[in-house]
Chain A
Amino acid sequence: MKSAIGTTESGLSAKERWGKVITKRGTLVGMILILLVLGIRSPQFFTISNLLEILKQGSILTMVALSQTIVLVAGGFDLSAGAVVHFVANLSAGMISGGQHFLVVLLLGILIGCIAGVINAALVNQLKIPPFVATLGVMFVLTGITLAYNQGKAIPLKGYPEFSYLGQGYVGPIPFIVIVVLAMLLAMHLYLKKTAAGLRMYAAGQNPQAAKLRGISPSKSLFVAFVIGGLILGLTGVFHASYNYGSSAVASGLDFLISALAAAFLGSTFSKTGELSVIGTTCAGMFIAALSNGLIINGVSNTAMSGILGSILVISVILSVLHKREIGQVTIF
């Protein structure tokens, strides 16, 4: 199989090579085409300020998707992601309006995220509950605590410039939150691809039995992944409250979670083998944000919005999956 591919690649005409690029990098080509169409239809889409705005709008989703990615890499699954973010967001909004310093809130948010990660990992590793059910239970519990905390009401924040800087501030022309996402991306990429621990995490996620025989502990990888993922979620919660000037009354965060999951999977179609990667996830998360931004600029109505978003999501994947001739199984469940 391998050698066959090698021989065909050597004798390619220019036309064939382009065909190869399109099928190999299909998702990326599809995304760029779609964004080009949106940009040509309304020129203000491709202005620098709008592009930076898109990156800012996509940051929260990308952060959740990054946390989901590392857990998926280690062979887990985190259904509680959205609930953790909303809980921390509500708590931060409440504490900030109660007069706490924003650094205290930031640290507490991260701490809560880590604790949620430890609990998830303990349920999966020690009690041997399947990740899906364990994180589902945690999701319910956190949703309830959030509702008990905010009594079903939104907590708006006005006039806290220091706290609002986190989500809405700029360093020169670049939004601060985008810098945070890029730093996070760099750190995670280096950890997952350049350190032994990160590569072991991939191994443990893909084949726990084989990894165990090689002396790698899958449960340790999962623990680390859940804690790192939780840390990111806690951070995201604080930024979420800051970005939205407060917290909404919504508590379950299921839509959030589904979009993040879609971003992670969309990102995995970038690679030929469907491997999850933080770079793919980030591109996909930002693409989803660009898409909603472009559709709004093009004047799509609110009711039609989600339908068009959904179909474009599917179309952008089709290019890259068509040549694989496989069925669309999902193995995480």
Chain B
Amino acid sequence: MSKSATVPELAASQSGTRFGILRDYGSLFGMCLVLIVFAIVKSEFMAFHNILGVLTQSTILIVLSLAMLMVMSVRAVDLSVAQVADAASIIAAASLIHDLPVWAAYLLPVAFGLIVGVANGVLMSYLGVPAIIGTLGMMFVIRSLELIYTNGGQPQILFTLPRGVTEPFLYLGQGNLTAGIPFLLAFAVIISVAAFLSRERSVLGRRMDAINGNVRTSFLAGVQIKKVFASAFVISGAMAAIAGIVLTSRTGIAVPRGSESYLLEGFVAVYLGTLASKTNRMNVVGTLIGALFVSFLNNWLTLMGIGAEYKNILSGCFILIAIAIGALRKPKS
């Protein structure tokens, strides 16, 4: 499996001469170019505190797009990730409001994410429901539960609680590791490394690759396809819940349906990530780059003070430009 995966990569790098790298990773250069232009237009963009802020803020998107990546790398899709994050953020806030200990505010949402993940896994893997329908159904069910619990969408507010109760919980999103370095940054690194190891350097990850390549062949080769397929959903559910906890801890408020916009951004991040690979494979490092690009893009548009209408137009154009630069250089296959 690992051999066959490297053959096209080898071929790609050998076929290129001087411009081989430029061609293989053209889209990455495209993204860098876009960011450089941003910095020239708006100098605050490259200020240290701004970069640090964006990096910290992007943790939520990073975790969520890694969750999406897990499922998408076995050729499925999880439309419920953003909704799971949403529900998890509400559970975290609600458990603090109801005087539960802090560990409960961390563990209950993750348990919820795991339950949703297992349910998704059973539906998609053991019952065989197409992922796009099954996770869509799950998304609607969770949205309903949220709205019923919050009386049709009342936000769960943490900052009216005494500081002593919320402080240990808010440390995750707002605390500093040492002077100037947010704890969240370290958290993002830990999650990313864990995701990298489990996706790219583990037996499970290899089996995911196998299923991505050919389900029938991997079944004949002895891969327990149902177990691997289901575990992708379980991992994704748990990670989505973590993203939700981070969101509440960072903002101190949980708004029902507040994180639905992350679904699309997560998709974009995973897709941009495929461009960081010569064979257009979905991978962890690429997804990280994609998520950061999306975050920096949003940040720049906010810095420029651009209204929602032009913000949409510009982000559409920039995504197209970044990818077109790379796609043009790739040889026609």
Contact = CB atoms under 8 A, between A and B. Distances in A.
11 contacts: A123-B320, A130-B274, A133-B268, A136-B271, A137-B320, A262-B133, A313-B133, A314-B137, A317-B133, A327-B211, A328-B124
Contact of A328 (B131, B142, B267, B319): B131
Interface in A295-321: 302-311, 313-314, 317-318, 321
Nearest to A323: B128
Count chain A CB atoms within 10 A of each CB in B141, B271, B272 and give the residue with the most: B141
A314 B129 contact: yes
Given A306-B144, A328-B125, 9 more contacts: A128-B327, A132-B267, A133-B323, A137-B320, A137-B323, A303-B147, A313-B140, A321-B128, A328-B134
Interface of B: 72, 74-77, 79, 123-125, 127-134, 136-145, 147-148, 152, 211, 215, 225-226, 229, 264, 267-268, 271-272, 274, 280, 307-317, 319-320, 323-324, 327-328, 330, 332
A329 B74 contact: yes
Given A144-B312, A265-B130, A303-B147, A137 B77 contact: no
Contact of B130 (A136, A308, A321, A325): A321
Given A144-B310, A321-B127, A258 B144 contact: no
Contacts of A152: 308
B327 A129 contact: yes
Count chain A CB atoms within 10 A of each CB in B74, B76, B312, B332 and give the residue with the most: B312
B143 A141 contact: no
8 closest A-B pairs by beta carbon, nearest first, are: A307-B144, A310-B140, A140-B316, A144-B312, A144-B313, A147-B309, A310-B137, A137-B320
Contacts of A32: none
B198 to A, nearest CB: 20
Contacts of B280: 130
B313 A318 contact: no
A333 B226 CA distance: 20
B141 A136 contact: no
Interface of A: 123, 127-130, 132-134, 136-148, 152, 251, 254, 258, 261-262, 265-266, 269, 302-311, 313-314, 317-318, 321-322, 324-331, 333
Given A145-B309, A313-B137, A138 B328 contact: no
B140 A326 contact: no
B128 A303 contact: no
A326 B309 contact: no
Contact of A137 (B76, B129, B307, B317): B317
A143 B316 CA distance: 9
Contacts of A306: 140-141, 143-144, 147
A145 B313 CA distance: 7
A317 B128 CA distance: 9
